[in-house]
Amino acid sequence: MATPRRYRVRIRFVLIEASSGGYDCILLDVDNGPEGLTRRCNDWLYSAAGLLAARNALWPEGLLAIWLAGHDDRFAGRLARSGFSVRVIEARHDAHWQGEDDIEAHVIFLAHKIP
């Protein structure tokens, strides 16, 4: 193929460079949760510094949406302390197609920037 179908983005640097409030919405589906289970370098995104960088990259009243494998009260508190109003939505997924008999509940944190 002449054009690559995937590429790596170092979101940390994108957020820092975009600190002027240029985004309406930032959507993150990076890891299973704030602990950076797949890659330790993802931890920064969920830290106070990472959330502040995301907040600064958003327009007033912008939205930060983050998918997690499960609910995390500490992370919800960190979002609130970082200047967001937080709403958590359960995203249920039927695992029958994987040969499992249960329904998994993942969550999406909707964090609206408080101007």
Q: Where are the domains of the chain?
A: 11-113
86 has a pLDDT exceeding 80: yes
Reported as a single tens digit per residue, the pLDDT across 15-49 is 666 667 788 999 888 766 776 555 667 788 889 99
Residue pair 63/24 in contact by the 8 Å Cβ criterion? yes
- Tell me the average pLDDT across 90-107: 66
C-alpha torsion angle, residues 28, 31, 34, 35 (rounded to 10): -160
Under 8 Å CB-to-CB from 98, ≥6 apart: which residues?
Answer: none
Under 8 Å CB-to-CB from 93, ≥6 apart: which residues?
Answer: 103, 104, 105, 106
pLDDT at 7: 47
pTM: 0.76
Report DSSP state, residue 79. Answer: H
What topology does CATH give the domain 11-113? Rossmann fold (3.40.50)
Q: Which amino acid is at 91?
A: A
pLDDT at 115: 86
